[in-house]
Amino acid sequence: MAAVEFIEPTSEDLQVIADNMREADIAEIWASHRSKPLDAVTRGAKNSELCAVARIGGIPCAIIGLVANDVLTGTGTPWMLGTDYLMKHQSALLRESPAIIKQMLNVCVVLYNYVHIDNKSSIRWLKWLGFNLKPAEKYGVGGELFYKFEMRCADV
C-alpha cells in the first residue's frame, strides 16, 4: 500500500492537481465560486494558514488547506481538492486525515465549509471524519444546493 507524504505546494504540484482534478471537485468550485481548477488551487494555497500537497508514490494527488477566517471567533475553512489518482489510493489519505483535522483544530476551534450535494465521495469522507452536515441550502454564485459541514474542537 502506497504511503502518503505531505509537502509544501510548488507551482508544478498545483498545475498537476489542476490538470487532473476530479470532475466532482471541478463542478463544486464552479458552482460555488465560478473558479477554474488552477485558479482555485492557487488561491487556496495563497490564502491558507496551513496548506500541503498530498503525494502518493511521488505523484501529487490532492491539496488540502485551512483558511483562518476570524481570530476572535476561532473559525476556519478547511478545504481539499483532489485528482482521480487520489481516488485509486484514497485509503492512504484516509489514514492520515484525522491527524490533519487535529492540526487544523489546533489553529481554529471551529471548522466549517460547504460541499456540493452531488460530491458523494467528499460527503462520505466528511462524515467519516466526524463533521456535522447541515441540511442542504442554496450556496455560492450558482445558487446550487450545498451542505454546510462543521466541526468544533469540543466535538473531538
What are the boundaries of each domain within the chain? Answer: 4-155
Kindly state the cell numbers that stand for 70.
476570524
According to the model, what pLDDT value does residue 97 have? 86
pLDDT at 156: 63
The C-alpha angle with vertex 14 and arms to 150 and 70, in degrees rounded to 5, equals: 35
Q: Hey, what's the cell of 20?
A: 487532473
pLDDT in tens, 8-61: 999 999 999 999 999 999 999 999 999 999 999 999 999 999 999 999 889 999
> pLDDT band at residue 1, thresholds of 50, 70 and 90?
low
Residue 4: per-residue pLDDT: 85
Instruction: State yes or no: pLDDT of 66 exceeds 90.
Output: yes
Tell me the pLDDT tens digit for each residue of 119-129: 999 999 999 99
Give domain 4-155's CATH superfamily: Gcn5-related N-acetyltransferase (GNAT) (3.40.630.30)
How many angstroms separate the Cα of 17 from the Cα of each of 4, 54, 124?
A: 15, 10, 21
